[in-house]
Amino acid sequence: EPEPEPEPEPEPEPEPEPEPPRKKQTPAAAQHKQRTGLARMGHGNGVVPPPTPQFPMLDGLPVGIQCLRIVNLLLELPNAAAVFGKPVDTVKYDLPTYFDVVKKPMDLGTVSKKLTQGKYQYIEDFESDMHLTFNNAMLFNGKGHVVSELAQNLKNTFDD
């Protein structure tokens, strides 16, 4: 009489994939996070979500709304909207080397759009895009240029 075949052992469950490494926090972001306890922003679903633990509150308003207010206040400053309110038009302004110098373009209009669409998961990403906007302008235009001076003033205002 043949022996019964042993039952196969169940396959082990796959181990969960490790989380991708997070970006290194800037000192300002670490201080802000420590001061406010902020870590996460919207859910990326294209709509500013209702307040949840993942979308923290600050002074009675969701952080994403607070960030949008900051962007809008900066855009109200003289010349800010004209210079930083939308992506640089390299054709209109005849800037053929712009993309050779600026590898990751960013502007306040794009930041605002990303905020309203819930694209920022971490406040540090918002802060990074804000700095990128101003740093790109200073990099491309150079020290002493009127656009660089405006960028530095807006960056200082944002950081204060």
pLDDT tens track for 43-97:
444 555 444 334 566 666 677 888 999 999 999 999 999 999 999 999 999 999 9
Tell me the HSE value of 28 on the side-chain side, using a 13 A CA sphere: 13
Q: What whole-number distance in Å separates Cα of residue 51 and Cα of residue 127?
A: 21
pLDDT tens track for 26-54:
555 555 444 444 434 444 445 554 443 34
Nearest Cα neighbor of 98 from 88, 108, 106, 107 is 88
The residues pairing with 40 across neighbouring beta strands, listed in sequence order, are 122
Mean pLDDT for all residues in the chain: 79
Tell me if the pTM is above 0.85: no
Nearest Cα neighbor of 122 from 59, 60, 36 is 36
Helix (H) or strand (E) holding 154: helix 146-159
Longest dimension (CA), the chain: 95
